[in-house]
Structure 1
Amino acid sequence: MSSTEAAVVKDELNKLECYFTWDLEKEKLDLTDILNRLEGHVDFKRGGDAGLAQTYNSLGFVKYLLGSHEEALVFMQKSVELIKEYWDNNCDRWLIVPYGNLAWLQYHMKCFGECKGYLEKIKSIEQKFSDSALGLHHEVLGEKAWAFFKFSRKYYNQAKECFEKALELEPENAQWNCGYAFVLHRIETQFSTKPSLATIKQLRLALEANSDNDELKAILALKLAQSMEYDEGEKLMEEALEGSPNAPNVIRYVGKFLRDYGSVETSIALLKRALEKSPTSAFIHHQLGLCYKRKKNYLQSQGGQKSTRAAAEIQRLRSQCIYHLDKTTELRCGFIIAMNELAIQYSEDGKLDRAEELFQQALQIAKEKNESLQYVIRCYAEFHQYKRRSFPEAISYHMECLKIDKDSKDGKKSAKHLNKINDRWSSKSSGHGSAQRFFAKKEKGHAGP
Structure 2
Amino acid sequence: MDFPLKCHLEKLECHFTWDLGCYKHKLQELSDDFHDMDQQTCTWQVHNNNLLGYIQYALGSNKKALLHFCKAESVIQEQGTEEAEARLQVNKANMAWVHFLLGNTAESKAYLEEVEKLQQMHPAPPGCMLHPEVSGEKAWTLVKFDYSKKRQSIDLFRMALKAEPERKEWHKGLASAMSRPLLMSEFTTDEVLKQLKRAIELDPDSVFLQSLYWLKLSEVPANYKNNYDKEVQSLLQKNIDTGNMEGLGVILQYFQNISVDKAIQEGERVREKFPTSPRVLRNVANLYKSKVYSMNKDSREKQALVEMSIDLFEEVLKHYPRNFKVKLSLATMYQNAHNIEKANEIYSELLLEKDDLPPDRLQYLYYSYACYLFHSRQSREDESILFYMKAAEIPDNRGCRQKCIKVLENTLKSGRDPRCEDILCLLQRIRQENI
Q: 1:362 to 1:153 in 2, by over 3 A?
A: farther
Compare 403-412 and 93-102 and name the one that shifted more.
403-412
- 1: distance between equivalents of 2:384 and 2:305? 32
Find the counterpart in structure 1 of residue 427 from structure 2.
none
Q: Which residue identity does 1:141 align to in structure 2?
A: S
Q: Which residue identity does 1:162 align to in structure 2?
A: L
Identify, as 1 or 2, the structure richer in helix: 1
Aligned-pair distance for 1:71? 3.2
Q: 1:371 to 1:334 in 2, by over 3 A?
A: farther
Aligned-pair distance for 1:182? 1.6
* Residue among 40, 59, 63 paired with 1:66: 59
- 1: distance between equivalents of 2:110 and 2:388? 61
Q: Deviations over 1:361-400 (max 9, x none)?
A: 6678789633277776666565455542878628847985
How many residues matched? 410
- 1: distance between equivalents of 2:406 and 2:145? 33
Q: Is the 8 A contact 2:25 2:323 kept in 1?
A: no
Q: Deviations over 1:231-269 (max 9, x none)?
A: 464344234324433223422322332333251342332
Q: Structure 2 matches for 1:205-244, cutoff 5 A?
A: 205-228=198-221, 229=223, 231=226, 233-244=228-239
Q: Structure 2 matches for 1:47-126, cutoff 5 A?
A: 47=43, 51-86=44-79, 88-109=81-102, 112-126=105-119
Q: 1:278 to 1:153 in 2, by over 3 A?
A: farther
- 2: distance between equivalents of 1:374 and 1:72? 30
TM-score by length of 2: 0.75
1:31 is aligned to 2:27: yes
- 2: distance between equivalents of 1:296 and 1:227? 27
Aligned-pair distance for 1:175? 1.3
- 1: distance between equivalents of 2:231 and 2:256? 16
Find the counterpart in structure 1 of residue 133 from structure 2.
139
Q: 1:9 to 1:274 in 2, by over 3 A?
A: farther
* Residue among 170, 173, 179 paired with 1:179: 173
Q: Is the 8 A contact 1:54 1:143 kept in 2?
A: yes
Q: Identity over the aligned pairs, expressed in percent?
A: 23
Q: 1:326 to 1:200 in 2, by over 3 A?
A: farther
Structure 1 segments unaligned to the other structure (5+ residues): 306-310, 423-431, 442-446
Q: Deviations over 1:104-124 (max 9, x none)?
A: 334445555544443333232
- Flag the structure with larger Rg: 1
* Residue among 38, 41, 44 paired with 2:37: 41
Find the counterpart in structure 1 of residue 164 from structure 2.
170
SS at match of 2:63: helix
- 2: distance between equivalents of 1:168 and 1:29? 35
Q: Which residue identity does 2:31 align to in structure 1?
A: L
Q: Is the 8 A contact 2:25 2:322 kept in 1?
A: no
Q: Is the 8 A contact 1:375 1:410 kept in 2?
A: no
RMSD between superposed Cα atoms in Å: 4.4
Q: Which residue identity does 2:324 align to in structure 1?
A: F
- 2: distance between equivalents of 1:158 and 1:353? 42
Q: 1:329 to 1:27 in 2, by over 3 A?
A: same
1:344 is aligned to 2:332: yes
Find the counterpart in structure 2 of residue 254 from structure 1.
251
Q: 1:320 to 1:110 in 2, by over 3 A?
A: same
Find the counterpart in structure 2 of residue 266 from structure 1.
265
Aligned-pair distance for 1:345? 2.5
Q: Which residue identity does 1:269 align to in structure 2?
A: E
1:21 is aligned to 2:17: yes
- 2: distance between equivalents of 1:87 and 1:273? 42
1:433 is aligned to 2:426: no
Q: Is the 8 A contact 1:174 1:210 kept in 2?
A: yes
- 1: distance between equivalents of 2:69 and 2:388? 51
Q: Is the 8 A contact 1:144 1:162 kept in 2?
A: yes
SS at match of 1:16: coil
Aligned-pair distance for 1:293? 3.1
Q: Deviations over 1:10-66 (max 9, x none)?
A: 44333322122222222366332222222333535322xxx2122122222223333
Q: Deviations over 1:73-121 (max 9, x none)?
A: 3322222232233352443322211121223334445555544443333
Q: Which residue identity does 1:316 align to in structure 2?
A: A
Q: Is the 8 A contact 2:25 2:324 kept in 1?
A: no
Find the counterpart in structure 2 of residue 425 from structure 1.
none
